[in-house]
Amino acid sequence: MSSPYALTTEILNGVAVITLDLPNDPVNKFNRAVKEEFVALFDRLERDLNVRAAVLLSGKQDSWIAGADIEEFLELKSAAEAERMSHDGQLLLDSIEALRTPLVCAIHGVCLGGAVELAIATHYRIATDHPKTVLALPEVQLGLIPGAGGTQRLPRLIGIRAALDMILTGRNVRAKKALQIGLVDELVHPSILRSVAIQRAREIADGQRKHQKHSGGITGLLLDENLAGRKLVLRKAREETLKKTRGHFPAPLAAIEAIDAGYSGGPSKGYREESRLFGEMSATDVSKQLIFLFFATTALKKDPGVTLAEGEGRIDVIPVDKLGILGAGFMGSGIAAIAVQQGTLVRMKDADHGRVAKGMAAVRDVLKERLEKRQITRLQYTDMMTLLGGTVDYSGFRNADLVIEAVFEDLDVKHQVLKEVEAATDPDAIFASNTSTIPISRIAEAAARPERVVGMHFFSPVHKMPLLEVIATSRTDRRVVASAVAYGKKLGKTVIVVADGPGFYVNRILTPYINEAGRLLDQGAAIDAVDNALLDFGFPVGPITLVDEVGLDVGSKAGHIMHEAFGQRFAPPVSMQAVVASGRYGRKVKKGFYLYDEEGKKGAVDQSVYALLMPAGRGVSVEGGSGQQRTTIPALEVQQRTVLPMLNEAARCLAEGVIRSPRDGDVGAVFGFGFPAFRGGPFRYMDTLGASEIVKQLEELNDRFPGRFEPAEQLLYMARRSERFYSQG
């Protein structure tokens, strides 16, 4: 029978060996009950004079502690309540720091947020030198700041600059790096973690060992101890944060403020400010949206992608050990690169040896980058490369469990390769298309086994983009869908299952947005001004830059397919057609709307492109744009004209069943092309604006530009009934 308690303690020769193992939960986290158990336990240990030291271990297989319980944040009713929670956390960790019995943390697996704050309040930290061991303060990714002393203790332990890096990015710090920066004191193999931790606890109790205080090396020390140096570092951090976030994320700035307060006003002021700002941040809409996204993505991790029948429990999936890839281009090699990293045997085919070699080199580049960043060892690199093979025929495809095609976006070409794959593989093999726009059912028309045909739409660059759309046709076997979903997750992707149709979900809602950006150029707007307006809205890149990145040839081909399918509403803008016709395909040919250097690094707008656009004399410009003879379109109008049709299309996708839920629609847009996460996604954003406000704005635009902005039926219906997409905010 499992214990109702999370903490168990064993006393070994004066050392209390404490194991945290939250019952019935996959990870350890600090919820109210666990905190109470900690208080009671330390109270008892402090009074037990037989206990001279303590060690804290996790009972979970590969994770230590995931920090504070985020679900409890959802119950917080006010900033004051959150401030109290932070203050209580600080008091608990202060009491641990002041323990008579030194506490040693034995860390294996993820150590996040409040867990790092706990660890740095203790007397000694040992971590395992295992790839699963990472330490991070991910609070800013939830719109929060470390609230249990992290903004105060961390800079003093590892130096301001290293602390800022961790707190402002939330980035994972691997064990080796943690040792280098002084975040942990020692690294050991997992097999000896427990015994070494007990030994160190004894040594510290006996006064034989003190832990070293690091603070970012000599330069770090000099800067931190010197008022002017500190001010400079903090000012720079503020400037860079503002530049990067355009003011949309208040938490990183709040964290800097809390750190500053601790140095300028002393520790008690620092802790007070940390609690106050933690409370303030927890009440922001940004934090609510980011926490929503955290739970939405975790829910998707468990989602099999198909509806289970009553009593079914789970669905058996086909494991993918051998993968065939058709097309060794950018997408094909990108998929190969992530597949070999998961131990899949990959066979990549293209038409000639030159292309295959180029694709293999591209895989090597991705893995080399990981090697250089020390994310993998040389041995792992070699093992991964050994899993990759190339071919110009179908040799080695016979045993493939899954074949993904990433060939030219042309239906005839897709039909041809589908037939070839069916002939070259076993009848059980799954055929997946990575098409970005062609309906899978059209591709499956050529199939002898349409039930084995599915869509797996990866985003470019594959090794960086977190989303995968799995597309099921009405004929796809549900086990095939579930297998594509399971394999996508294994590849580390967040997977949404969408219904078949031109552009599926992500490209369908992206197209009207890009088209409208093009129409603004048709009107004579300046390229950088359109991009800037949407960067200000919160997109990571502007729409014109995005087109340059994706490739104008690819984008325009997709645009035509969408136009054919959806008619006038999706008519491509004139400007884009003129530019693509001139051979400016964007970054890959180092010629597009922007200038590119030899390495492909983006520069300023290429002024010569304006000659290809509609005559500027007829045009207008956008606030803040460069270029000639322009009148002004306010940035707000640019945002409305581009973002509203995207929202409108997202509502249509939901009504038509292209996506299963607003949650999938939000996650798809945020992870597929960077819809501003602090707005929660298109559906959360529509709820913030309200359906009637969206309808009103769309109708106003439709009066000015008939046909393009007609509100979706779904929005009209919701506006009439004052309905929302989500029942709660």
Stretch that binds ligand 3H9, among 69-77, 231-239, 383-391, 521-529 (CB under 6 A): 69-77
End-to-end, the C-alpha distance of the chain in Å comes to: 39
Gap between the Cα atoms of 151 and 154, Å rounded: 6
Interaction between residue 465 and ligand 3H9 (CB under 6 A): no
Please check whether residue 300 is in contact with residue 494, taking contact to mean a CB–CB distance below 8 angstroms: yes
Please give the structure tokens belonging to residue 634: 């306010």
Interaction between residue 314 and ligand 3H9 (CB under 6 A): no
Stretch that binds ligand 3H9, among 23-31, 95-103, 362-370, 515-523 (CB under 6 A): 23-31
Residue nearest ligand 3H9 (C-beta atom)? 113
Instruction: Give least dist CB 166 to ligand 3H9, A.
Output: 12
Q: How far is CA 585 from CA 273, 527, 554, 577, 711, in A?
A: 51, 16, 8, 11, 33
Gap between the Cα atoms of 715 and 729, Å rounded: 18
Instruction: Give least dist CB 726 to ligand 3H9, A.
Output: 18
Interaction between residue 254 and ligand 3H9 (CB under 6 A): no
| Residue nearer to ligand 3H9 on the CB measure, 112 or 471 | 112
Tell me which residues in 323-362 interact with ligand 3H9 (CB under 6 A).
none
Dihedral pair phi/psi, residue 240, rounded to 5°: -65, -40
Q: Is 407 left (phi over 0), alpha (psi -120 to 50) or beta?
A: beta
Question: Among 486, 61, 524, 519, which Cα is nearest to 306's?
Answer: 486
Interaction between residue 85 and ligand 3H9 (CB under 6 A): yes
Interaction between residue 392 and ligand 3H9 (CB under 6 A): no
Interaction between residue 89 and ligand 3H9 (CB under 6 A): yes
Question: Among 535, 532, 511, 507, which Cα is nearest to 645's?
Answer: 511
Tell me which residues in 521-540 interact with ligand 3H9 (CB under 6 A).
none
- Binding-site member from 15, 57, 112, 167 for ligand 3H9 (CB under 6 A): 112
Instruction: Give least dist CB 277 to ligand 3H9, A.
Output: 12
Interaction between residue 109 and ligand 3H9 (CB under 6 A): no
Tell me which residues in 116-155 interact with ligand 3H9 (CB under 6 A).
117, 138-139, 142, 146-148, 150
Instruction: Give least dist CB 505 to ligand 3H9, A.
Output: 23
| Residue nearer to ligand 3H9 on the CB measure, 34 or 715 | 34
| Residue nearer to ligand 3H9 on the CB measure, 19 or 101 | 19
Please check whether residue 683 is in contact with residue 665, taking contact to mean a CB–CB distance below 8 angstroms: yes
- For residue 15, what are the β-bridge partners? 12, 53
- Binding-site member from 298, 395, 416, 607 for ligand 3H9 (CB under 6 A): 298
| Residue written as token pair 């037939």 | 419
Interaction between residue 114 and ligand 3H9 (CB under 6 A): yes
- Which stretch of DSSP H or E encloses residue 583? none
Instruction: Give least dist CB 172 to ligand 3H9, A.
Output: 9
Dihedral pair phi/psi, residue 400, rounded to 5°: -65, 135
Cα angle for residues 167, 170, 175 (degrees, 5° grid): 95
Instruction: Give least dist CB 145 to ligand 3H9, A.
Output: 7
Instruction: Give least dist CB 295 to ligand 3H9, A.
Output: 6
| Residue nearer to ligand 3H9 on the CB measure, 154 or 198 | 154
Which residues fall within 8 angstroms of residue 373, CB to CB, at 6 or more apart? none
Interaction between residue 86 and ligand 3H9 (CB under 6 A): yes
Peptide bond into 682 cis (omega under 30): no
**Residues designated as active site:** 469
| Residue nearer to ligand 3H9 on the CB measure, 65 or 403 | 65
Interaction between residue 280 and ligand 3H9 (CB under 6 A): no
What does the H/E/C string look like for 414-425?
HHHHHHHHHHHC
Stretch that binds ligand 3H9, among 67-75, 428-436, 479-487, 493-501 (CB under 6 A): 67-75
Instruction: Give least dist CB 165 to ligand 3H9, A.
Output: 17
- Count interface residues toward ligand 3H9 (CB under 6 A): 28
Interaction between residue 66 and ligand 3H9 (CB under 6 A): yes
Gap between the Cα atoms of 165 and 185, Å rounded: 19
User: Which own/partner contact pairs does 268-274 have at CB distance under 8 Å and 24+ positions apart?
Assistant: 270/151, 270/152, 271/90, 271/149, 271/152, 274/86, 274/90, 274/145, 274/146, 274/147, 274/149, 274/150, 274/151, 274/152
Stretch that binds ligand 3H9, among 49-57, 63-71, 686-694, 710-718 (CB under 6 A): 63-71
| Residue nearer to ligand 3H9 on the CB measure, 488 or 645 | 488
What does the H/E/C string look like for 10-56?
EEECCEEEEEECCCCCCCCCECHHHHHHHHHHHHHHHHCCCCCEEEE
| Residue nearer to ligand 3H9 on the CB measure, 84 or 238 | 84
Gap between the Cα atoms of 645 and 668, Å rounded: 17
Instruction: Give least dist CB 611 to ligand 3H9, A.
Output: 50
Point out which residues bind ligand 3H9 (CB under 6 A). Answer: 26-27, 29, 63, 66-71, 85-86, 89, 110, 112-114, 117, 138-139, 142, 146-148, 150, 298, 301-302
